[in-house]
């Protein structure tokens, strides 16, 4: 090939290379494929003979962009696996803009020309619009805010800050956030009300000096029943009948105060297992015997000159005269003293203790609750006068409305477990009992003593009593709101490696060596049933004593549970398997559980009051005991507070 013939070929080769290089680098055409390259080669097809012999494959070498691989000459430079971006709104809408392009345009950024979507590492070059720059637009003037309506103000504010009016999605998110914030506020208010309701009140011994406490404890140690001014038959019933040598702390403080002021209202608060039942029964029964003696001396001459009128005939055939002896103070369906307790089990327990005293003191004690048949309870109050009636609020209201029982002769009203009785469950029923007793005392112009007994002292109870009984005498012990000194307490936290039931089994395996009676507390009746079934499947002697169980079955289980362990239990089939009672808070209020050596809190209580009641089922009357709490994540805050108070030996709040 000579110089003349090679010159046109050189020009053709140079132009073709420039064209193909430009087509390879640019991303502006929608179809960068073999057809486009062939079209470009046809445009450069000259009529010179030497140019027609050029081959397309010889002029277009393969190139790699960032992948590190070598392609063959027939592969495309652009990858076709990335699809084109879809238009917004279909044909004729959005002018072919993509969602990403529209978003960038709103943000004031440059957009790229639509074409094949390549990842950044495969792009050849970046091309910008060739449009001339426009002058910056002036800011629009601030709109005038009209005085009428809040909508105009919101729109003006939105324009001023450069924001658009929120769309439907934005409004939904705002409403959801408002509802979430409102729910948080309601939950915080609920917690505050719960805390205020169950917060413990302060006592006179919380900030007392050690010297004064030492003097008080020394006086309590020197106290005896014989030096309190009790009647001989009452002292004999305590020492010989019950076997008590000296009074407990609460008895040494409460009994003398009640005897000195027999008709003033009294609030007696002491820790669980301290002997509060005798602290209020002894002065009440002592006062009843004193009233009988005073009435007998005053009416002696009148009884000798009067004619006897039979008022009633007892079950054993004895007649009760309306004018003889004690007829002025002892009448049919007119109890002289009423003791109100929250549960049926507590009715049986208090009645048993009162009858042991009445055997020597010669007083008639009757215990009535809703589980007793109606004809039986009617015969109890209608066949003979009742000196001490022990009942629940519901049963007493039934007797007053259906059986004609009246509180016109009642001189003593005792409310045991006052922190529970003033709760929402018993508050309305308790008012129906206290109101007529106070009304009769005011109309008949005779005194009536009201005694309120509790193991804890919530602020709500203190406010109610201060409002209804302004001159009430408050008697508390130095150990109030503190755990018992001989009680060992453990707090076990659940992690992801175990379950609550398995942790309860581990606690029982370690407890079987020393403890023969165990109480496990749950927060719900369903939880009690499930746990009792689970323990029985594991061959433990477990009984459910929640309110879902029949009354007769629960009474039998409690009677068997309250019995002291015997040799037969240790040598029987249940060696190493303690008798277990699974219960709700119904078993934490006032029940005598002296034989319980271990308390397990399967469900942690919701308040410090419930914690004190539950752990107070063991280590009673100076005995040793253990309490183990299983703590879930939601209970850690209250458990940490109680644990710190236990370690520091301070008052629980």
User: 148-157, 384-393, 548-557, 643-652 — which is least confidently predicted?
Assistant: 148-157
* Element holding 562 (H helix, E strand): helix 551-562
User: 77-91, 205-219, 289-303 — which is least confidently predicted?
Assistant: 77-91
> Between 500-511 and 525-537, two packed helices, what is the crossing angle to 10 degrees?
60
Q: b/e per residue, 288-304, with b = 16+ CB within 10 A?
A: bbebbeebeeebeeebe
Highest mean pLDDT among 48-62, 94-108, 252-266, 563-577: 252-266
How many whole angstroms from its chain centre is CA 563?
Answer: 33
pLDDT in tens, 212-259: 888 888 989 999 999 999 999 999 999 998 988 899 999 999 999 999
- What Å distances lie between residue 616 and 252, 416, 587, 594, 597, CA to CA? 20, 16, 11, 10, 11
Q: What is the DSSP letter of 512?
A: T
pLDDT in tens, 110-123: 444 454 556 666 65
Helices (H) and strands (E) in the chain, counts: 23, 15
The answer to whether the beta carbons of residues 561 and 579 sit under 8 Å apart is: yes
Cβ burial of 170 (10 Å; 0-12, 13-18, 19+) is: exposed
Comparing 33 with 348, which gets the higher pLDDT?
348
Query: pLDDT category, 301, cuts 50, 70, 90?
Result: low
pLDDT in tens, 532-560: 999 999 989 899 988 888 878 888 888 88
Sign of the torsion angle spanned by Cα atoms 97, 100, 104, 109 = negative
The answer to whether the beta carbons of residues 206 and 651 sit under 8 Å apart is: yes
Q: How far apart are CA 380 and CA 374, in angstroms?
A: 10
Sign of the torsion angle spanned by Cα atoms 466, 469, 471, 474 = negative
Q: What is the DSSP letter of 226?
A: G
Q: b/e per residue, 391-403, with b = 16+ CB within 10 A?
A: bbbebbbbbbeee
* pLDDT, position 54: 40
The answer to whether the beta carbons of residues 440 and 410 sit under 8 Å apart is: yes
Comparing 188 with 121, which gets the higher pLDDT?
188
The answer to whether the beta carbons of residues 640 and 519 sit under 8 Å apart is: no
- Nearest Cα neighbor of 475 from 246, 256, 235, 197 is 256
* pLDDT, position 55: 40
pLDDT at 295 over 90: no
Q: What is the DSSP letter of 132?
A: P
Please report, rounded to a whole number, the percentage of residues in the chain having pLDDT higher than 70: 66
pLDDT at 328 over 70: yes
Sign of the torsion angle spanned by Cα atoms 433, 437, 443, 449 = negative
Q: How far apart are CA 651 and CA 653, in angstroms?
A: 6
Convert 263-302 into a string of H (helix), E (strand) and C (coil): CCCEEEECCCCCCHHHHHHHHHHHHHHHHHHHHHHHCHHH
* pLDDT, position 425: 67
Query: pLDDT category, 610, cuts 50, 70, 90?
Result: confident
* pLDDT, position 32: 46
* Element holding 518 (H helix, E strand): strand 517-521
Judging by DSSP bridges, how do beta strands 266-269 and 449-454 pair with one another?
Answer: parallel
Comparing 40 with 507, which gets the higher pLDDT?
507
- Has this prediction a pTM greater than 0.75? no
Largest CA distance in the chain: 170
Helix (H, G, I), strand (E, B) or coil at 27: coil
> Between 3-25 and 34-43, two packed helices, what is the crossing angle to 10 degrees?
150
Q: How far apart are CA 313 and CA 139, in angstroms?
A: 106
Neighbours of 1 (CB within 10 A): 8
Q: In what order do the strands lie in the sheet with 449-454?
A: 365-368, 388-391, 337-340, 412-415, 449-454, 266-269, 473-476
The answer to whether the beta carbons of residues 405 and 437 sit under 8 Å apart is: no
Mean pLDDT for the chain overall: 76
């Amino acid at each position: 090939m000579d110089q003349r013939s090679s010159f046109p070929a050189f020009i053709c080769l140079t132009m073709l290379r420039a064209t193909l290089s430009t087509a390879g680098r640019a991303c502006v055409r929608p179809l960068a494929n073999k057809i486009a390259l062939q079209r470009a080669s046809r445009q450069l097809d000259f009529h010179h003979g030497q140019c027609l012999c050029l081959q397309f494959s010889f002029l277009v070498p393969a190139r790699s962009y960032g992948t590190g691989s070598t392609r063959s000459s027939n592969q495309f430079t652009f990858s076709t696996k990335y699809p084109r971006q879809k238009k917004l709104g279909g044909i004729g809408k959005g002018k072919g803009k993509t969602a990403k392009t529209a978003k960038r345009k709103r943000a004031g950024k440059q957009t790229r020309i639509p074409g094949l979507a390549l990842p950044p590492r495969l792009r050849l070059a970046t091309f910008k619009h060739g449009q001339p720059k426009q002058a910056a637009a002036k800011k629009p003037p601030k709109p005038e805010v009209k005085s009428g309506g809040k909508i105009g103000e919101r729109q003006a504010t939105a324009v001023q800050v450069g924001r658009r009016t929120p769309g439907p999605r934005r409004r939904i998110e705002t409403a959801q956030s408002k509802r979430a914030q409102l729910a948080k506020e309601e939950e915080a208010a609920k917690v505050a009300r719960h805390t205020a309701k169950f917060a413990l009140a302060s006592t006179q011994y919380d900030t007392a000096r050690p010297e004064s406490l030492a003097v008080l404890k020394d006086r309590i140690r020197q106290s005896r029943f014989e030096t309190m001014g009790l009647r001989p038959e009452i002292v004999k019933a305590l020492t010989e009948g019950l076997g008590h040598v000296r009074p407990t702390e609460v008895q040494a403080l409460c009994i003398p105060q009640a005897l000195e002021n027999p008709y003033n209202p009294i609030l007696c608060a002491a820790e669980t297992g301290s002997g509060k039942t005798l602290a209020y029964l002894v002065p009440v029964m002592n006062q009843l015997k004193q009233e009988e003696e005073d009435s007998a001396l005053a009416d002696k001459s009148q009884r000798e000159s009067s004619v006897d009128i039979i008022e009633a005939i007892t079950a054993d055939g004895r007649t009760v005269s309306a004018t003889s002896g004690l007829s002025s103070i002892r009448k049919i369906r007119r109890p002289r003293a009423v003791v109100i307790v929250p549960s049926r089990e507590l009715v049986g327990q208090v009645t048993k203790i009162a009858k042991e005293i009445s055997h020597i003191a010669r007083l008639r004690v009757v215990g009535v609750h809703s589980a007793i048949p109606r004809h039986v309870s009617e015969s109890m109050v209608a066949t003979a006068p009742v000196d001490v009636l022990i009942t629940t609020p519901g049963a007493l209201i039934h007797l007053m409305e259906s059986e004609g029982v009246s509180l016109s002769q009642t001189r003593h009203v005792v409310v045991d477990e006052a922190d529970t009785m003033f709760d929402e469950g018993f508050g309305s029923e308790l008012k129906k009992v206290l109101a007529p007793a106070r009304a009769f005392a005011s109309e008949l112009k005779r005194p009536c003593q009201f005694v309120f007994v509790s193991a804890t002292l919530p602020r709500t109870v203190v406010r109610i009593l201060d409002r209804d009984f302004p001159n009430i005498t408050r008697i508390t012990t130095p150990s109030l709101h503190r755990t018992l000194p001989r009680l060992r307490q453990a707090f076990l936290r659940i992690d992801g490696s175990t379950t609550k039931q398995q942790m309860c089994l581990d606690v029982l395996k370690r407890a079987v060596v020393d403890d023969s009676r165990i109480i496990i507390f749950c927060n719900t009746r369903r939880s009690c049933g499930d746990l009792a079934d689970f323990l029985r499947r594991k061959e433990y002697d477990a009984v459910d004593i929640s309110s879902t169980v029949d009354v007769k079955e629960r009474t039998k289980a409690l009677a068997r549970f309250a019995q002291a362990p015997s040799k037969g239990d240790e040598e029987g089939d249940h060696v190493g398997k303690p008798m277990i009672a699974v219960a709700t808070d119904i078993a934490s209020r006032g029940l005598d559980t002296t034989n319980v050596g271990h308390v397990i809190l399967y469900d942690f209580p919701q308040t410090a009051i419930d914690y004190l009641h539950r752990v107070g089922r063991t280590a009673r009357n100076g005995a040793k005991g253990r309490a183990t709490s299983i703590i879930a994540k939601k209970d850690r805050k209250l458990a940490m507070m109680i644990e710190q108070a236990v370690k520091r030996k301070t008052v629980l709040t």
